[in-house]
Amino acid sequence: MRSCNPWSFQPSKRSALIQQARVNRMLWPANSLDLNPIEHMWDELCRRVQRHHPPPANLGQLLQWL
């Protein structure tokens, strides 16, 4: 018989398993920008393009600015 709520999705059982395994848990915000390095990269690329006015006329110019 198939369960609609497997044990891995039941918080109390999952927490007990983690405690038994003596896993040290790290707590942090789920969407923290500091933990998502690609967001820093996109931000830097945007700043580099925005420094130039007028906007790049073609792909070659854009790549040169980046």
Instruction: Report whether pLDDT(48) > 70.
Output: yes
pLDDT digits (tens, 9 = 90+) for 14-47: 778 878 888 777 776 666 656 677 888 888 888 8
Instruction: Report whether pLDDT(8) > 80.
Output: no
Instruction: Report whether pLDDT(6) > 80.
Output: no
Q: How far apart are the first and last CA of the chain?
A: 57
Record the pTM. 0.38
Confidence (pLDDT) at 40: 82
Three-state secondary structure call for residue 31: coil
Which residue in the block uniquely carries the two structure tokens 């848990």?
25
Confidence (pLDDT) at 31: 66
Confidence (pLDDT) at 1: 41
